[in-house]
Amino acid sequence: MEDAHLRSLTAVEAVDGDERAVEAALRPRSLDEVVGQQRVRDQLGLVLEAARQRGRAPDHVLLSGPPGLGKTTLAMIIAAEMTTPLRLTSGPAITHAGDLAAILSGLNEGDVLFVDEIHRMSRPAEEMLYLAMEDFRVDVVIGKGPGATAIPIEIPPFTLVGATTRAGLLPGPLRDRFGFTAHLEFYEAHELDEIVQRSARLLDVEVRADGTSEIASRSRGTPRIANRLLRRVRDYAQVRADGVVTRTVARDALDLYEVDASGLDRLDRAVLDVLCRRFGGGPVGVSTLAVAVGEERETVEEVAEPFLVRRGLLARTPRGRVATAAAWQHLGLAAPAAAPGTSADPALFDE
Ligand SMILES: Nc1ncnc2c1ncn2[C@@H]1O[C@H](COP(=O)(O)OP(=O)(O)O)[C@@H](O)[C@H]1O
Ligand SMILES: [Mg+2]
């Protein structure tokens, strides 16, 4: 059962059709237009330039990182920079190896095949993909049991671009077949500010510098959220003010949408709240946390946690999730002496 009350403004699946259209309009179209992620841009730019000079399809690329940081954008840019068509599919859409065989055998030389959420592909499809990535060949099995025969089909050289929120869930053999892996990090406030200014220009929204920086600082380090908050603030500016996005307008609008000054949204706060008030700060398993906030485990793990960990509000330990002293402070509560980050701090472990 879905608890509408806890539906978070950041949940990826909450994007409706209209939002998708706006999102597409705001996507950078070339590496030069991408804001931030300097290292990834330099490295990827080199991979693409070298491939162009050799007249070959670039190596397979894996893009990993939390939702909304630019994985799909980069996949589209790779195809655009190589001036080749982008073929698009996703792990959950490939339920049978046969689905993948059909996609692979329909590729043309140099095509970019984008597989979103590649960690959610079925095991047989994954095995077929290894072979295709390495030998540009698929074995199509005809028949069943002892009489079954595998017919090898050659496929033209292509570039696989995989995107995942959970690189750790990819089996080693699949991960190893990517020639280049880019891990996208949360963005700095000044980068998000630049993104908000760029989007405001494209959407024709009148903004003040203090207004965009307020939106940037509440965007959870995530461009998709920055763009979404800009649109909510624009609505507010239009209806309740004179249309201009100033700091006061941004602050009032975001308070209304329950995005707090550190950028935490309802889901982030619900996780911290349950962890501290109901479980005494932990340790508690992530599945238990998810049930307690009425969300899917994946949403808590892939959407809320990376940011909370990054902000030093939550720690992952071998025995479960633990609230740090900063988390207790954030909720306006006194931290117990044993909370990580206090003087009685026990050693922190990563998973
Ligand atoms: N580096 C960036 N610079 C500018 N805008 C960005 C950047 N990364 C992402 N965006 C914006 O954020 C939105 C979400 O990005 P997307 O590539 O769909 O994220 P992901 O696929 O990682 O979930 C896009 O519409 C795009 O406008
Ligand atoms: Mg995406």
Looking at per-residue pLDDT, the higher value among 41 and 130 belongs to 41
Q: How far is the CA of 77 from the centre of ligand 1 (A)?
A: 11
Cα separation, 57 vs 174, whole angstroms: 19
Residues of the binding site for Mg(2+): 72
The arithmetic mean of pLDDT across residues 324-343, rounded, is 85
pLDDT over threshold 50, residue 351: no
Query: Does residue 345 have an active-site annotation?
Result: no
Report pLDDT digits (tens) over 11-24.
444 445 677 777 78
The answer to whether the beta carbons of residues 136 and 156 sit under 8 Å apart is yes
For ligand 1, atom 24, which residue shows the shortest CA distance? 27
Looking at per-residue pLDDT, the higher value among 75 and 336 belongs to 75
Q: How far is the CA of 261 from the centre of ligand 2 (A)?
A: 26
* pLDDT reported for residue 97: 87
Please identify which of the residues 224, 228, 234, 311 carries the catalytic annotation: 224
Report pLDDT digits (tens) over 112-164.
999 999 999 998 899 899 889 999 999 888 888 888 888 889 999 999 999 99
Query: Does residue 116 have an active-site annotation?
Result: yes
Please identify which of the residues 10, 84, 111, 116 carries the catalytic annotation: 116
Query: Does residue 71 have an active-site annotation?
Result: yes
pLDDT band at 6 (very low <50, low <70, confident <90, very high): very low
Kindly identify the ligand whose nearest atom is closest to the C-alpha of 224. 1
Query: Does residue 165 have an active-site annotation?
Result: yes
Query: Whole-number mean pLDDT of the chain?
Result: 89
Q: How far is the CA of 32 from the centre of ligand 1 (A)?
A: 14
Half-sphere exposure of 167 (CA within 13 A, CB side): 15
Looking at per-residue pLDDT, the higher value among 40 and 171 belongs to 40
Is the minimum distance from the CB of 195 to ligand 1 under 6 angstroms? yes
Query: Does residue 72 have an active-site annotation?
Result: yes
Kindly identify the ligand whose nearest atom is closest to the C-alpha of 63. 1
* pLDDT reported for residue 340: 84
Looking at per-residue pLDDT, the higher value among 224 and 10 belongs to 224
Report pLDDT digits (tens) over 247-260.
999 999 999 998 98
Q: Find, among 225, 228, 190, 186, the residue nearest to 209 by Cα.
A: 190
Beta strands in the chain (DSSP E): 61-64, 86-90, 112-116, 137-142, 149-154, 159-164, 180-183, 314-317, 320-323
Report pLDDT digits (tens) over 192-209.
999 999 999 999 999 999
Contacts of 223 (CB under 8 A, 6+ apart): 35, 68, 69, 70, 187, 192, 195
The arithmetic mean of pLDDT across residues 173-188, rounded, is 93
Is the minimum distance from the CB of 28 to ligand 1 under 6 angstroms? yes
